[in-house]
Structure 1
């Protein structure tokens, strides 16, 4: 199976951490049960250049309630509607559309041909090519696959209030990640029904679609 198409460009791909590069180039990037954890940790090291061919720089207002500060790079072919807010290092690839009043908190990478609906909120995520997140959704500390389509009011829970840190399921048992915030992993081509909620650290990699109002407690 051949590697995925490089939409971000060679110059930008060379700057990305290895875990992100793996997801962007490998067809079945989700096979490692800890891949989501690796990506979220790698995003913390995301450092965008002041300029890159084909991208425009967007200065971001500082957020005192967010750990990561910096500027955004948005591909010249991508469309940001009125009211879009970018905080910290955010990379938006080619032919993306970001709907009105969406908020994206970096470090976040959105690969090409992706769509965020109105009033979507994204925090420290990797969205692969042609991912779609419908209106009024929250996605945090997560990895979303190619052509995945998240229905309206999707929510990735990111905190385990009982344990304090998020646990993932590895080889059938719970493993402590040590992370206080960790979202979900959704594989390529998965669709979620309206108002789907995924619990922290869970993965949707074998189920092609979830019904409306789903609560995902286990890997599926």
Structure 2
């Protein structure tokens, strides 16, 4: 019976990969799904985080709803300004999930979702997002997704994922390169359709944005 379930899931996931990039509308729709997640506000600096999403236990290494989001916009002259210069997506060949040892590709624009999530996170922390880096004092941010490892056990109904990227921040006074790594695990996830993974991939991308916003907040 389990072999049949694996075969069915493989056929479904295999059919969801496309050669074209996710459109802006699709990325916006994916990001909008994040707003339906009503999670308790927790400090982003804590080591572990656990919540329940649609009856599933969700664990991550950073809060999904950071307490910094409650901060008001700083209108003082010392307002921190950021220009998100470039976000580089993962290669299509890297975008896959392993189901019982077999890899299946999925189609998702990580860069677009990350950009929207990071913009929201920065603005909620009182940081102004510029449209250009004309001022030498504006922080220019570049982010490059470099790797993802996502493994789903059909028998255990368990998803475990890790997303890695490189953050570069610079202005006239500072220049930093930081490795950004974030992890998640989802228990009691009975996946039978690609849509069952979509929300959790969006949350994983949002976790990366939260971590980047944390680093920028420290500057």
Q: Which has the larger radius of gyration?
A: 2
TM-score of the pair, normalised by structure 2: 0.24
Bigger helix share: 2
More relative contact order, 1 or 2 (CA 8 Å, 6+ apart): 2
